[in-house]
Amino acid sequence: MAASRLPPQCREQLFRLLGIYLGRLAPRLASAEHDRIAGSDLDFAFVGGQREGEVSYYRIQAPGLLAEYQDTHRGSGHAHTVIRSPGRDFSTLPGWLPRSAGLAVNALPLEP
């Protein structure tokens, strides 16, 4: 759902939530990402329960940015979050290194 279709209070909460994700980045990178997506209409998707311990998943998407939360372990308190930059992440691997090598690389470029 486009953030512009959400009630103002929900839209404000969505932007605060995205700010938490961006706040985990280095300040210079966080600022650059914020400036880059400013004015974009975010998309938000949610599936799952509404009570603590129920399986849930959400994603926040903007052009070139994806933030996700997943808790599918039914009450175990084992959740995963990720922020990535589709189309720009994993592009720093050397051409000779196969992606199947399983090496972790920075999800966002070190320099904007």
Query: According to the 3-state scheme, what is the secondary structure of 11-74?
Result: HHHHHHHHHHHHHCCCHHHHHHHHHHHCCCCCEEEEEECCCCCCCEEEEEEECCEEEEEEECCC
The model carries a pTM of 0.71
Sign of torsion over alpha carbons 46, 14, 76, 102 = positive
Determine the average pLDDT of the residues in 101-110: 45
Query: What type of residue sits at position 84?
Result: R
| pLDDT tens, residue by residue, 19-53 | 999 999 889 989 999 998 888 889 999 998 888 77
CB 103 within 8 A of CB 88: no
The pLDDT assigned to 13 comes to 94
- Interval 75-99: pLDDT, tens: 667 788 888 888 776 655 555 545 5
Q: How far apart, in whole angstroms, are the C-alpha atoms of residue 79 and residue 1?
A: 23
